[in-house]
């Protein structure tokens, strides 16, 4: 049952009816109102501690996930980033939150639940076989009770993985995405989900298609396609599943190129990488693309006017970030790389 909330601010009619989740968004917006117009990044995704086992021996542990890693990279550049996620109040959850804090990522929107445990992923890596991933974690029945950050026009909302398709997060998240779209925020969707996670694709496919509909950009990798649309290449995925909804589709094929699909247009941008660190490559590519949007001071209303030269510049930045992160054991950027890139960011007052 929707709640009735009386609001007297910014032209919102009193006695306006909102769903409870949107009521929380609006109240948060009021409390955090500022006369500054700095664009922000809101990253929404799971917070998982990955442990890599090489030939069955533990090698290293780090906070994983494309959204989490991209948020940390952008925070390291000094950009305003908020992480919307959840983890337990256990030691692993403390590790996760400290990781974000150390990379200048705002953690006020990370829900710390008390019943359960923070999710873990064991990644088993062999010389002559693909990675095998086993996921662990116990969630409470009542979860994802996050405090949504304020969202304004031209803010960037990055979301994906199972939060975007699985309940109970999905219902609450999609209300926020619809709200953000109506506010003319720039929505970047990362379809697919962590390998080792099983879903009934028939059941969640309507959610994936709805995510396409609200998105400004959709970014994926060959591995994502294989999970969601078996036996499809990027052309088939775009023409059969994405084109109708209208977002710009960016497909990464690390062995060949990045392909940009807009309307009936397709552009290829050469990109070669022999890395086996696909997570680092994707996180870096995503962060580099968002960085390029900031350098360009990109606005929602200007996206349709992007030229081939603009896209060439965006892809160049995305490739440079991808190559740096793919070489890193924790999927991050070096201090020198961050310093060099930060100097080109516009100064927001």
270, β-bridge pairs: 257
The DSSP line for 177-206 is HHHHHHTT-EEEEE-S--TT----HHHHHH
Share of the chain above pLDDT 90, in %: 60
The residues spanned by each domain of the chain are 1-33, 66-110+143-342
- Asked if 156 and 42 count as a contact pair (C-beta separation under 8 A), the reply is yes
Task: Report in angstroms the alpha-carbon separations of 46 from 15, 43, 165, 200, 253.
Answer: 35, 10, 12, 19, 24
Which tens digits make up the pLDDT trace of 278-295? 888 899 999 999 999 999
Q: What are phi and psi of 310, to 5 degrees?
A: -60, -45
Would the pLDDT of 37 be above 90? no
Burial 191-205 (b: 16+ CB within 10 A, else e): bbbbbeeebeeeebe
Residues 212-220: what's their mean pLDDT? 96
Q: Which CATH class is domain 66-110+143-342?
A: alpha beta
Which tens digits make up the pLDDT trace of 310-328? 999 999 999 999 999 999 8
More confident: 247 or 194: 247
User: What is the gyration radius of the CA atoms in the chain, in angstroms?
Assistant: 20
Reference 247, options 260, 229, 234; nearest CA is 260
Q: What is the pTM of this model?
A: 0.86
Structure token digits, residue 199: 């879903």
Would the pLDDT of 189 be above 50? yes
Residues 145-165: what's their mean pLDDT? 92
| Residues written for the chain | 349
Residues 192-202: what's their mean pLDDT? 66
In the three-class reduction of DSSP (H, G, I as helix; E, B as strand; rest coil), residue 115 is classed as coil
The torsion of the CA quartet 175, 179, 182, 186, rounded to 10 degrees, works out to: -100
42, β-bridge pairs: 82, 157
Which tens digits make up the pLDDT trace of 127-154? 777 778 888 889 898 888 999 999 999 9
């Amino acid at each position: 049952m929707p709640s009735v909330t009386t609001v007297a601010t910014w032209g919102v009619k009193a006695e306006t009816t909102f769903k409870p989740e949107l009521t929380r968004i609006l109240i948060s917006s009021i409390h955090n109102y500022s006369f500054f117009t700095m664009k922000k990044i809101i990253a929404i995704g799971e917070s998982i501690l990955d442990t890599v086992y090489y030939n069955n021996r533990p090698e290293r542990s780090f906070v994983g996930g494309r959204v989490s890693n991209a948020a940390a990279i952008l925070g390291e550049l000094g950009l305003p980033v908020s992480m919307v996620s959840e983890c337990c109040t256990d030691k692993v959850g403390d590790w996760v939150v400290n990781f974000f804090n150390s990379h200048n990522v705002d953690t006020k929107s990370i829900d710390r639940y008390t019943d359960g445990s923070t999710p873990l992923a064991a990644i088993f890596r062999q010389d002559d076989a693909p990675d095998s991933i086993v996921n662990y974690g116990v969630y409470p029945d009542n979860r994802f009770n996050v405090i949504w950050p304020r969202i304004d026009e031209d803010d960037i909302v990055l979301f994906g993985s199972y939060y975007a398709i699985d309940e109970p997060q999905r219902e609450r998240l999609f209300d926020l995405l619809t709200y953000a779209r109506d506010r003319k925020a720039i929505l970047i969707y990362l379809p697919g989900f962590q390998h080792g996670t099983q879903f009934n694709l028939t059941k969640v496919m309507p959610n994936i298609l709805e995510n396409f509909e609200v998105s400004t950009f959709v970014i994926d990798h060959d591995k994502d396609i294989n999970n969601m649309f078996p036996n499809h290449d990027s052309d088939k995925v775009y023409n059969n599943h994405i084109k109708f909804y209208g977002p710009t589709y960016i497909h990464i094929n690390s062995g060949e190129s990045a392909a940009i699909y807009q309307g009936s247009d397709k552009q290829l941008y050469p990109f070669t990488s022999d890395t086996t660190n696909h997570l680092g490559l994707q996180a870096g590519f995503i962060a580099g693309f968002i960085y390029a949007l900031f350098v360009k001071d990109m606005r929602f209303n200007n996206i349709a006017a992007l030229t081939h030269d603009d896209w060439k510049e965006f892809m160049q930045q995305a490739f440079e970030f991808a190559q740096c992160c793919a070489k890193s054991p924790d999927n991050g950027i070096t201090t020198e790389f961050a310093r060099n890139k930060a100097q080109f960011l516009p100064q927001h007052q």
